[in-house]
Structure 1
């Protein structure tokens, strides 16, 4: 009898699967971004709603544990963002921080999260440093980066004849990186860069900067900025008659939210690059319409990518059978990403999502047949062409 019981116990130990593990009895995701400044429409409260949509669509629980999403405004200040992240990790049991608009913020929080051994998933910042020299074993970069924007807008416009450029550049890490990488593609394609001028973040008067760009005689004025900065620059360029004089504006980081805020009349003819457009196919339209019904606006690539990133994170927890960071990060690298945002995409060893990006042109007002239908998709750029290969990224984690 004793031998039988021991034998039965052994069989039981082998047959019973490992118990799923979720720390603190819940999975908690923090959406940290700009909710009151120049990037408030770019991501802001709409990214928070996208994250909540993903949780609801996933079912509200993972491994039988509830999923909670919280948010905070980092005011585009790395020190504020770092303080919030520390509080979230130390006292509020946050497991992952996402969105992270503004490159300086994203770099600061990603670095802090390495020490805390927590996952970050950036959708709102652009710098390639996140998956390059400052990459993290727990850091992931969805949506876009400065390299993809430079390939999409910079390379394409030179091929169409826009072979001389002058830059209006936001005076911080994101702007420098975008100007540098776009300049490299312009010259690689045979174009020339005639100069650049730097402007402070959230400035309101672009007159002196635009006059310098106009005087350069460049065929293309590259706006290496984002959000309200780009909107204001475009509005004032129209007032100065710059585009009417034959120069073309290239918005190197501009999304559907900003086009809508600016209006088709002012934005028509503008070239830009996004990794998502709601009216591109049936799946993207289905998400877009659900998002608009919930928020009153159509999603841009930041909102769509935040949904995609949250969903993939939850799938990785489910696949790993735990929310332990090492195990989840391994699954994030291993699993394909296949949703309306990224179809059949993969994550590189440096944490970069390799999904397609699209070169867009803003339609003239008389071409728009329904609300929010602002874009003509001019070209699709495959992910492996849009983004730096992990081996070329400078990420020290890549063998």
Structure 2
């Protein structure tokens, strides 16, 4: 058994289940105090565009599985799931969430899966005093300068994703980087975070070029990266964008020049779409992988039964955020935001997504990460088992120190 297996074993799961069951029994009489007689969860994300594979309807399935597990503990508490496609447009996402809050009585929103949309939703969360659990949202602004008391980052931010790989590669002599990035909040923020990490590690930036969301021809961007002579070409994009860019990288024989491609954000569905012939050797940082241990595999089996493909890290984080919200609300018998938020913060997260994780003052759920590498063709032992886990990145190393946070909610020493 791997070290990460032993930390997440069935004995811990049984203890957590017992603790939740005991709290459920004590809280059942209070279920009737929920407003509208139900807990309402809204899942907003990209359900038809370039980010739909990594989140999309799979995040809705993950939320439904959370409700199933919640009802094992609280069968008498009604839960409603709403979902909508924000089409990667901040104004559409904001309109959906405002209607949910003002008309439909939604108590908690999860996912977002787009940094620009998330920043728009964050303003509403602050204004309406509603809880949002962000999944695939990279911008550090969400828990930095634009943090909100109710805006919780459950999965990652761009600092988590780039700091470790930059240190490792610069330390190995690959210190000159060129960036091909998505031209919206996520891509610009990831390049900025990478620049800061490069400077701290003694590396340099050869240049950066930003492409529109949904572009299909990356030739000009790749040729500019090649002409830069950089040691590393870092892709600060995601989903379908990364898949297309990496396929064209291989088609054009870009690796022959000795440059190393780095996927600063890569999801399991990206590897599935591009194939191991293209993805082999690519490393990335992830907060979760379905084949880590027995608990993650059990969740993945349930998810695949409903969705037909393995869960991504964002989808797993939606499950965790929704379940933690629901059990916190039911345990205190109310959906009043401040009370539920206090319960969520006071209660460690222990589930198949994260262990002994806690929400710190800037709204980040603090947990371990994993450096993973895409397997070589022929190395696949079972469907969707695309990664080798290179190492665990402890939570203590994965996050920007709280003392350096720009979030105004963090107490100043």
Asked if TM exceeds 0.5, the reply is: yes
State the SS of the aligned residue for 1:283: helix
- Distance in 1 (alpha carbons) for counterparts of 2:252 and 2:351: 43
Bigger RCO (CA 8 Å, 6+ sep)? 2
Alignment partner of 1:168 is 2:180 = yes
Alignment partner of 1:96 is 2:96 = no
TM-superposed deviation, 1:107: 0.9
Are the equivalent residues in 2 in contact too, given 1:63–1:318 (CA < 8 A)? no
Quick one: which of 150, 156, 175 aligns to 1:144? 156
- Distance in 2 (alpha carbons) for counterparts of 1:339 and 1:317: 17
Q: Could you give the per-residue CA deviations for residues 218-245 of structure 1, whole angstroms, max 9, x where no partner exists?
A: 1210001111111111011111111233
Specify the alignment match of 2:311 in structure 1.
299
Change (3 A) 1:62 1:83: farther
Quick one: which of 187, 193, 206 aligns to 2:199? 187
TM-superposed deviation, 1:320: 2.5
Q: Could you give the per-residue CA deviations for residues 347-390 of structure 1, whole angstroms, max 9, x where no partner exists?
A: 10111000111111111012222111111111211123212233
Alignment partner of 1:39 is 2:51 = yes
Quick one: which of 290, 294, 299 aligns to 1:282? 294
Spell out the pairing of 1:87-126 with structure 2 (5 A cutoff): 87-126=99-138
- Distance in 2 (alpha carbons) for counterparts of 1:65 and 1:312: 15
Are the equivalent residues in 2 in contact too, given 1:152–1:358 (CA < 8 A)? no
TM-superposed deviation, 1:190: 2.3
Specify the alignment match of 1:202 in structure 2.
214
- Distance in 2 (alpha carbons) for counterparts of 1:37 and 1:114: 28
Are the equivalent residues in 2 in contact too, given 1:117–1:325 (CA < 8 A)? yes
More off after superposition, 108-117 vs 221-230? 108-117
Spell out the pairing of 1:13-32 with structure 2 (5 A cutoff): 19-20=30-31, 21-32=33-44
TM-superposed deviation, 1:153: 2.6
- Distance in 1 (alpha carbons) for counterparts of 2:71 and 2:333: 16
- Distance in 2 (alpha carbons) for counterparts of 1:231 and 1:133: 31
- Distance in 2 (alpha carbons) for counterparts of 1:37 and 1:305: 20
Query: Which runs of 5 or more residues in structure 1 are unaligned?
Result: 1-16
Specify the alignment match of 1:369 in structure 2.
381
Are the equivalent residues in 1 in contact too, given 2:284–2:373 (CA < 8 A)? yes
Specify the alignment match of 2:147 in structure 1.
135
Specify the alignment match of 1:351 in structure 2.
363
Q: Could you give the per-residue CA deviations for residues 19-64 of structure 1, whole angstroms, max 9, x where no partner exists?
A: 4520110001000000011101010000010000000111178583
Alignment partner of 1:392 is 2:388 = no
TM-score using structure 1 length: 0.93
Are the equivalent residues in 1 in contact too, given 2:179–2:208 (CA < 8 A)? yes
- Distance in 1 (alpha carbons) for counterparts of 2:172 and 2:288: 23
Alignment partner of 1:50 is 2:50 = no
Change (3 A) 1:344 1:268: same
Specify the alignment match of 1:10 in structure 2.
none
State the SS of the aligned residue for 1:365: coil
Are the equivalent residues in 1 in contact too, given 2:373–2:387 (CA < 8 A)? yes
Are the equivalent residues in 2 in contact too, given 1:61–1:67 (CA < 8 A)? no
State the SS of the aligned residue for 1:309: helix
Quick one: which of 204, 213, 217 aligns to 2:229? 217
- Distance in 2 (alpha carbons) for counterparts of 1:235 and 1:117: 44
TM-superposed deviation, 1:281: 1.5
TM-superposed deviation, 1:316: 1.2
More off after superposition, 168-177 vs 188-197? 188-197
Q: Could you give the per-residue CA deviations for residues 76-124 of structure 1, whole angstroms, max 9, x where no partner exists?
A: 1111011111111121111111101111101111111221121111012
Alignment partner of 1:157 is 2:169 = yes
Alignment partner of 1:244 is 2:259 = no
Query: Which runs of 5 or more residues in structure 2 are unaligned?
Result: 1-27
TM-score using structure 2 length: 0.90
TM-superposed deviation, 1:18: 8.7
Change (3 A) 1:62 1:109: farther
TM-superposed deviation, 1:155: 2.3
Are the equivalent residues in 1 in contact too, given 2:166–2:201 (CA < 8 A)? no
Q: Could you give the per-residue CA deviations for residues 185-211 of structure 1, whole angstroms, max 9, x where no partner exists?
A: 223222221111111111111101100
Specify the alignment match of 1:342 in structure 2.
354
State the SS of the aligned residue for 1:314: helix
- Distance in 1 (alpha carbons) for counterparts of 2:362 and 2:315: 23
